[in-house]
């Protein structure tokens, strides 16, 4: 990949994604195989005025070896020093920049119970840090770069070099990083969210009904004083940033106790090394009461049964079928991209920012108002080209605002 393009992508990540400020601590997480790009991001962060840039190096092969060979007791532990590390960084107002490039199959064949136990231990120990990022108190951003195994997974018919080049092409296009001025392009893109967000916030629907030709017939309630959001976000100091590059979704907070009907996934879900295919769920009183999958149902079971909140919804998101990623007709095996191809739901924790003054509430207060809490947050796609969405107001008035996969307002 041309180094000038890589530098432009790194600069977009730093200046629009995390919006690094002068004097700020920057924490980068990066695979060792992607070190060349991690260093470009480091340099871009210093150019933006960062006072200190630290890189947490990750390695797929080491992670896999741990899951396959580690002693059983380590999967119920999370080191105190790591918790303290987060606290030190959070107290300094760090911005977190995540570079993802993992092999989608890296954890294939790992004992599901080990994945579940370590996930619970990790999420429990780091819940305070997670609360700061999910409420956007701290800024954070995610981008992706190809790895050879990821690229050949997405494009198995291509030679490795060709697959990497092709995946780079789609990533940069989807991320709006291939133009003359990507930062300006993202500022322009941010304005496109405004119309639909303003409409939905103005309607103040009590619930939404979704129907698709593949079988979804589902109604979800929305919490009172819910807030639709999308595009850029603001931290506690009102500094704008883009948590996800790319992003095409607008989303809000469903009521944890109001969801009824059948949801049929429109795309497979890649999760912890397993591809869950042909799956669906049935909801009653806000909770998954039955589910099935044609492939890797055990992985789906582990998601839903992680805790009580994992069987309830924390996010409902709308993506037009005409989104650039949707039109690529490519399964990326990566939620950052796949969730922006299709309307989706998330099992698990809700974002406090999707309720007015939600970031000022305790977890217990948020739950009492209908927001969901869980140790997990897993998005899955159910949007289709023929999806229709009807908004239902508190007085029973129904408004069809999304038809054949597109907004019609």
360-392 per-position pLDDT tens digit:
899 999 999 999 999 899 999 999 999 999 999
Choice among 54-63, 191-200, 312-321 with the minimum mean pLDDT: 191-200
| pLDDT tier, 178 (very low <50, low <70, confident <90, very high otherwise) | very high
Q: Which residues pair with 401 in a beta bridge?
A: none
95-129 per-position pLDDT tens digit:
999 999 989 999 988 998 999 899 999 999 999 99
- The position carrying tokens 């981008």 is 143
CA-to-CA separations, 58 to 55, 63, 85, 163, 208, in angstroms, rounded: 9, 8, 16, 23, 41
Cβ partners under 8 Å of residue 88, min gap 6: none
Answer whether residue 1 shows pLDDT above 80: no
Give every strand in the sheet of 287-292, ordered side by side. Answer: 287-292, 280-284, 254-264, 217-222, 207-211, 388-392, 398-403, 406-407
Scored b (16 or more CB within 10 A) or e, 81-94 reads eeeeebeebbeebb
DSSP state of 351: P
pTM of the model: 0.87
| pLDDT tier, 82 (very low <50, low <70, confident <90, very high otherwise) | very high
| pLDDT tier, 134 (very low <50, low <70, confident <90, very high otherwise) | confident
302-320 per-position pLDDT tens digit:
999 999 999 999 999 999 9
CA-to-CA separations, 173 to 5, 144, 276, 384, in angstroms, rounded: 12, 12, 27, 22
Answer whether residue 272 shows pLDDT above 90: no
Answer whether residue 7 shows pLDDT above 90: yes
Mean pLDDT of the chain: 95
Go through the domains of the chain in sequence order and give each one's CATH number: 3-185 (3.40.1830.10), 194-231+248-407 (no CATH)
What sign does the dihedral 65-70-75-80 (CA atoms) show? negative
SS3 159: coil
Q: Are 307 and 290 in contact (CB under 8 A)?
A: no
What pLDDT is recorded for position 189?
92
pLDDT, average across residues 27-55:
97
What pLDDT is recorded for position 274?
85
Distance between CA 240 and CA 248 in Å, rounded? Answer: 17
CA 287-288-293 angle, 5° bins = 165
Distance between CA 391 and CA 402 in Å, rounded? Answer: 9
Answer whether residue 335 shows pLDDT above 90: no
- Cα Rg of the chain (Å, integer): 20
Query: Beta strand pairing status for 280-284 and 233-234?
Result: unpaired
Cα-Cα-Cα-Cα torsion 163, 168, 170, 176, nearest 10 degrees, comes to 180
């Amino acid at each position: 990949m041309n180094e000038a393009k890589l530098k432009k992508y790194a600069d977009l990540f730093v200046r629009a994604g995390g919006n690094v400020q002068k004097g700020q601590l920057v924490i980068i997480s990066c695979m060792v195989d992607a070190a060349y790009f991690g260093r470009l991001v480091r340099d871009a962060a210093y150019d933006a005025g960062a006072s200190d840039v630290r890189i947490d190096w990750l390695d797929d092969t080491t992670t896999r070896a741990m899951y396959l060979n580690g002693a059983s007791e380590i999967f119920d532990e999370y080191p105190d020093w790591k918790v303290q590390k987060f606290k030190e960084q959070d107290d300094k107002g760090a911005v977190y920049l995540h570079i993802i490039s993992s092999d989608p199959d890296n954890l294939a064949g790992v004992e599901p119970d080990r994945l579940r136990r370590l996930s619970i231990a990790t999420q429990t120990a780091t819940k305070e840090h997670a609360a700061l990022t999910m409420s956007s108190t701290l800024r954070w951003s995610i981008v992706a770069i190809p790895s050879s195994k990821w690229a050949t997974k997405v494009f198995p018919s291509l030679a490795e070099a060709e697959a990497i080049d092709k995946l780079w092409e789609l990533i940069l296009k989807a991320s709006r990083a291939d133009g003359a001025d990507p930062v300006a392009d993202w500022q322009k893109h941010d304005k496109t969210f405004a119309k639909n967000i303003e409409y939905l916030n103005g309607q103040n629907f009590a619930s939404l009904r979704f129907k698709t030709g593949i079988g979804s017939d589902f109604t979800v309630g929305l919490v009172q004083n819910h807030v639709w959001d999308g595009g850029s976000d603001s931290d506690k100091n009102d500094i704008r940033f883009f948590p996800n590059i790319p992003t095409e979704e607008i989303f809000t907070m469903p009521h944890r106790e109001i969801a009824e009907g059948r949801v049929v996934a429109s795309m497979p879900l890649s999760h912890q090394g397993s591809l869950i295919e042909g799956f669906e769920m049935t909801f009653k009183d806000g909770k998954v009461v039955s589910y099935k999958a044609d492939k890797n149902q055990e992985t789906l079971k582990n998601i839903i049964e992680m805790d009580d909140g994992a069987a309830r919804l924390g996010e409902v998101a709308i993506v037009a079928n005409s989104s650039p990623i949707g039109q690529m007709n490519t399964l990326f095996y990566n939620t950052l991209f796949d969730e922006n191809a299709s309307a989706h739901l998330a099992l698990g924790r809700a974002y406090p920012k999707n309720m007015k003054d939600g970031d000022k509430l305790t977890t217990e207060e948020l739950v009492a108002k209908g927001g969901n809490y869980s140790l997990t947050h897993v998005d899955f796609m159910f949007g289709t080209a023929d999806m229709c969405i009807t908004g239902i107001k508190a007085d029973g008035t129904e408004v069809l605002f999304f038809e054949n996969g597109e907004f019609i307002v």
